[in-house]
Amino acid sequence: MMLKVTLQQSSPIKLDVKFSCESGETLALVGPSGAGKSTVLRCIAGLSLVRHGQVLCKNETWFDSDARVNKTPQQRRVGMVFQNYALFPHLTVADNLKLALDKGIANSQYNIDKLLDQVNLTGLEQRYPAQLSGGQQQRVALARALARQPQVLLLDEPFSAVDKVTRRKLYLELNTLRRNLDMPVILVTHDLDEAAMLADSLCVIHHGKTLQHGSPEQVLYQPINSSVARQVDVRNILKGRIKSHNGELMLEWHHYVFSVSHLSGFAEGQYVVFALSPAKILLHQRVRPSRGVQENPVAGIIRDRVTLRGITTVLFSVALAEDTILQMDLPEHVAMRNQLNIGEMITVSLLADAIHVMAE
């Protein structure tokens, strides 16, 4: 079962979106607030109408503007979890689920028990939403979405209303649950860490347009252009020029010339943008020489450092590069062992494999 989505319109909300998601896979729609992510979900569910495009699920046409097909939300068999859960406050957990169950399904109590077991809420069927924690309400909303036996599961910022501790527990539960879901799952989130943790693929949307669709590794570490790089919070985005050196294409940046592993498709003299993952900058350790110290060495002065959850981020200004600030991430113990203090000189290597060159 595959979900294929193509949506296009110029107004009232601009859309130019195209992606697909296989059964059993989770695709995350990521982008800033107002990018059109939730609108895309509503178009898939049939809650909003787009002017042009197609929504196909399991070789069944849910929407086709050219063929004038537009199935109702009830006909589309979509399970949807809203940001605010949208539970009926005057109904118990069991009654909230009963409303979503297919009336043709026999033994509704068995199905309610099964759904509650799936989301770890057994024994809470007679409680009302106000008697539940935020995490429990989220689980009820998920169980209600699954009660319809949907062909597609849509999750619209499902974790935004819970605290960080609860959110981490729900991540683990959803990650376990989705392995047993034989359907495409579309997750809308603005949290890139959340998307990378839970999704098999990412689709970056900005101003209603698909900028890139690929695996988390491709999108986060190999963005196709600077627009995508900025949307996925790449921290070291720099400008350079392709240069020929001894018959080999290299990357010129200020007074440096770097070897780069992947420069196919670029031409001598071309101005480009390149990105460096902070986690892939290699520190030349003071206590023990590092391998690769001869590869694209750069010197700089530490301007600041901050440690969070065992990772130390070092900001250093690069000599011979107009004091451009680069960020480098290191395990906290490495920073401590090498005594990386503000104002001190360090040298690093910008590994050829770690430099990602892209179009402006």
Residue whose entry in the numeric block shows the structure tokens 């959850």: 309
Residue whose entry in the numeric block shows the structure tokens 């020929």: 244
Residue type at 186 in one-letter notation: I
Given a cut of 90, whether residue 317 has pLDDT beyond it is: yes
From CA 29, how far away is CA 17, in angstroms rounded? 11
Residue 12 has a pLDDT of: 86
Tell me what the mean pLDDT of segment 300-307 comes to. Answer: 96
Of the candidates 18, 146, 138, the one whose C-alpha atom is nearest the C-alpha of residue 77 is 146
For residue 94, report the phi and psi dihedrals to the nearest 5 degrees: -60, -40
Structure confidence by residue, pLDDT tens digits, 237-277: 999 999 988 888 999 999 999 999 989 889 999 999 999 98
From CA 229, how far away is CA 207, in angstroms rounded? 15
Structure confidence by residue, pLDDT tens digits, 78-116: 999 988 878 899 999 999 998 888 665 545 666 888 888
Tell me what the mean pLDDT of segment 204-216 comes to. Answer: 94
Q: Please report which confidence band the pLDDT of residue 341 belongs to, taking 50, 70 and 90 as the band edges.
A: very high
Given a cut of 90, whether residue 187 has pLDDT beyond it is: yes
Given a cut of 90, whether residue 181 has pLDDT beyond it is: no
Given a cut of 90, whether residue 165 has pLDDT beyond it is: no
Residue type at 230 in one-letter notation: R
Tell me what the mean pLDDT of segment 291-309 comes to. Answer: 87
- Report yes or no: 186 and 42 within 8 Å, Cβ to Cβ: no
